[in-house]
Structures are given as structure tokens and as C-alpha cells.
Amino acid sequence: DAKTTQPTSMDCAEGRAANLPCNHSTISGNEYVYWYRQIHSQGPQYIIHGLKNNETNEMASLIITEDRKSSTLILPHATLRDTAVYYCIVRVARNNAGNMLTFGGGTRLMVKP
């Protein structure tokens, strides 16, 4: 699975949009971009995923560049409860073997009042 690069940490003001970037320049055509977050002492929480098109759900929006070498997770109105470590992961949806979610260091997002 392709490696991802994320900033180590980011701050965001409460109520503002949080834009979390991720570089995945070696992504291949059949690899999806997944985002998870982990609030302290809890298990990772699935946020959103996409292949080529931009995606939106009740939690966030995912913007994938046309060349698919980078993406941005957008939390439209960040709250204090969005403070967490955000992981960007690229993976192939394998059919016959294990589902290799490979977590890196992620971005520590701090939402401030």
C-alpha cells in the first residue's frame, strides 16, 4: 500500500472549517483513500473514503486532486469534540487476503475555543 504524508499537527478555531491535507504521490489506480480519526484512549473512528471523486457524508468532505496524488479532509464546522489524531490511509481493497490498513503517525488536530 502507498505511503502517506501528513502534517504532524494543526490548530483550528472552533466553528471554522478544518482542512487536513494528505500527500500520497505513489498511489496506484486501484487504491482508495481512507480517513479515520482517533480520540484519545478510544478506537479509531471511520470518517470517509474515496477513489477518484470527491465525497461528502454527515461527518466530513473528502477532496481528491485530479491526479490523485493528494487529498484534503474537510470538517466544515469544527467543534471541540473534533480534537483528535486524523489518519489518512491508502489501501487496495483486496478480495482474498487481509485488509491491510497501514496507519502512519497522522495529524493531531487541536480545535481551540
Interface residue with other proteins, options 2, 49, 74, 110 (CB under 8 A)? 49
User: Binder to other proteins among 14, 23, 44, 72 (CB under 8 A)?
Assistant: 44
Least Å distance between CB 16 and other proteins?
Answer: 28
Asked whether position 100 contacts other proteins by CB under 8 A, the answer is: yes
Binding range to other proteins, per CB under 8 A, among 10-18, 20-28, 55-63, 95-103: 95-103
**Cβ–Cβ < 8 Å for 51, 36:** no
Q: Which amino acid is at 1?
A: D
Segment contacting other proteins (CB under 8 A): 7-15, 18-26, 76-84, 90-98?
90-98
Residue 38 CB-density burial (10 A; 0-12 exposed, 13-18 middle, 19+ buried): middle
Query: Can you tell me the distance from the alpha carbon of 37 to that of 15, in angstroms, rounded to the nearest whole number?
Result: 19
Told to check if 101 binds other proteins by CB under 8 A, we report yes
31: Cβ contacts below 8 Å, ≥ 6 apart: 1, 2, 24, 90, 91, 92
29 near other proteins (CB under 8 A): no
Question: How far is Cα 48 from Cα 82, in angstroms, rounded to an integer?
Answer: 15
Residue 25 interacting with other proteins (CB under 8 A): no
- Residues near other proteins (CB under 8 A) are 34, 36, 41-46, 49, 93-105
